[in-house]
Amino acid sequence: MAKKDKTPGELLQDKLAFKPENSGNLMSDEEIAGAIAFCEDYKTFLDASKTERACSDWVITLLKKKGYKPFNPDKTYKPGDKVYLANRGKAVILAAIGKRPLADGVKILASHIDSPRVDLKQRPLYEEAQLAMFKTHYYGGIRKHQWVATPLALHGVIIKKDGKPVNVVIGEDAGDPVFVINDLLPHLAKDQDKRTLSEGIKGEELNVLVGSLPFKDDKASEKVKLNILRLLSEKYAIVEEDFLSAELCLVPAQKAKDVGLDRSMVGGYGHDDRVCAYTSLIASLETPTPDYTWVNVLADKEETGSEGNTGLASRFLENFILDLAGGQKTEGRRVFEASECLSADVNGAFDPTFPEVNDKKNCAYIGYGAVMSKYTGARGKAGTNDASAEFVGKIRRLFDQSGVHWQTAELGKVDMGGGGTVAKFISNLGADVVDIGVPVLSMHAPFEVVGKLDVYNTYKGFLAFISQK
Ligand code: MN
Ligand code: MN
């Protein structure tokens, strides 16, 4: 409607009222094409990065190609230097040294590269009723009923008795077999149907089908299991005892795919949080000579609470920045106090099938851009970094000036549940932190969905953040 046709009330509304808009209405056709192209490469990354180990390997291979050097804590770095630190093959820090001194603070991007999955127990293999099976212990917040009757791939590492590692990936190549956790047939599910959904499949029922063919021998027992051990021995030169020192897990075997007739979304495993890992990584690689030093951490263990020496409740990020500061003869705590961080993690997207879990005015929508979450946590904002209005205001101005389409959201209705991110661990060091990420449908499911425009706007937001002058 032309401006002259509007009533005074409509004009006042335009001037005063806030009306969020789908970024699809705001972005140019060229920019939308750019977002779609960006997600083609993202799908390739997702397929190659289904575990934190695979993701870390993929990232480090790329960093080496781009001229990043292993971090030396005793060295004094100068502007334009690019370094990375690998933490046990499960987490990575990369950094580019800026023109400004570290005393001016660093710009931190912090995402996580672990995703919910199903781990094997340390004595996984058994035989029952002439079927070979694996016992498992799930990792992170999975809804167990979603992980049955779907093809799974086996990933991980086995450390043999002599200390040699064996890498395992089965189920990713077109010719590979896959694995599956079976469910009951509906005909005999009368009792199971009475269970609550969270108990529909119990933890000890997440047993994986591994084989059914017996080793031909009259005397040996558990011949199906024996045949599996024979195959593992032939392929990897391992014995059953080697599972004791293994980290093996099952992840969805399917590849990332476009979703919808308009191909506006990507479905795949592990968007949480590799979508933020990827967007922050690409933004970082495009900013090799920043004004402020940027530090990008791709962490492990977020899905189990960030505990452990590859998670952000540990000190590996803190120590990295302290070492950088030491190289410039700067007090580490001064660096943290002057630093800013975008905690790069996903938020839940509004699902019209389940509107009752969200406050429609304060939740994230597919297509409305990067999500800023001022706070996360549960109940009365417990367990959260609640970003200050001042810092939120600063990022708001930065995004608006940089043409980043973004929205604000909290995770669900008050008291509906909740969740946290790594934000609080970094704000505990003294930095200003706010959560920025991509809205996700079916979060933590084997096939999560994100919107391509949101992925692209999140990347643009991270780029604007680390390009600050
Ligand atoms: Mn996450
Ligand atoms: Mn998560």
- pLDDT tens, residue by residue, 122-162: 999 999 999 999 999 999 999 999 999 999 999 999 999 99
If you measure from the C-alpha of residue 269 to the centroid of ligand 2, how many angstroms do you get, rounded to a whole number?
Answer: 12
What pLDDT is stored for residue 219 in this prediction?
86
- In the structure encoding, which two tokens stand for residue 467, read together? 């390009």
If you measure from the C-alpha of residue 13 to the centroid of ligand 1, how many angstroms do you get, rounded to a whole number?
Answer: 37
Q: Distance (Å, rounded) from C-alpha 53 to C-alpha 391?
A: 34
Q: Distance (Å, rounded) from C-alpha 71 to C-alpha 84?
A: 5
If you measure from the C-alpha of residue 112 to the centroid of ligand 1, how many angstroms do you get, rounded to a whole number?
Answer: 7
The string of pLDDT tens digits covering residues 379-435 is: 999 988 999 999 999 999 999 999 999 999 999 999 898 888 999 999 999 999 999
If you measure from the C-alpha of residue 342 to the centroid of ligand 2, how many angstroms do you get, rounded to a whole number?
Answer: 16
If you measure from the C-alpha of residue 223 to the centroid of ligand 2, how many angstroms do you get, rounded to a whole number?
Answer: 40
Residue range 293-317: average pLDDT? 97
- In the structure encoding, which two tokens stand for residue 53, read together? 């180990």
Phi first, then psi, for residue 4 (nearest 5°) are -70, -20
Q: Residues 109, 284: contact at Cβ < 8 Å?
A: yes
Q: Which ligand is nearest to the CA of 117?
A: 2
Measured over all CA atoms, what is the biggest interatomic distance in the chain, rounded to whole angstroms?
A: 93
If you measure from the C-alpha of residue 2 to the centroid of ligand 2, how many angstroms do you get, rounded to a whole number?
Answer: 45
If you measure from the C-alpha of residue 112 to the centroid of ligand 2, how many angstroms do you get, rounded to a whole number?
Answer: 9
Q: Distance (Å, rounded) from C-alpha 22 to C-alpha 407?
A: 10
Helix, strand, coil % in the chain, rounded to nearest 5: 35, 25, 40
Assign 239 to helix, strand or coil: coil
Q: Which amino acid, one-letter code, is at 179?
A: F
pLDDT of 1 higher than 60: no
If you measure from the C-alpha of residue 203 to the centroid of ligand 2, how many angstroms do you get, rounded to a whole number?
Answer: 19
What pLDDT is stored for residue 218 in this prediction?
81
Q: Which ligand is nearest to the CA of 438?
A: 1
Q: Residues 67, 83: contact at Cβ < 8 Å?
A: no
HEC readout, 393-407 = HHHHHHHHHCCCCEE
If you measure from the C-alpha of residue 175 to the centroid of ligand 1, how many angstroms do you get, rounded to a whole number?
Answer: 32
What pLDDT is stored for residue 92 in this prediction?
98
Q: Which residues pair with 419 in a beta bridge?
A: 377
If you measure from the C-alpha of residue 318 to the centroid of ligand 2, how many angstroms do you get, rounded to a whole number?
Answer: 23
- Taking the CB of residue 234, how many other CB atoms lie within 10 A of it? 9
The string of pLDDT tens digits covering residues 226-274 is: 999 999 999 999 999 999 999 999 999 999 999 999 999 999 999 999 9
Handedness of CA 340, 456, 316, 85 (dihedral sign): negative
If you measure from the C-alpha of residue 363 to the centroid of ligand 2, how many angstroms do you get, rounded to a whole number?
Answer: 17
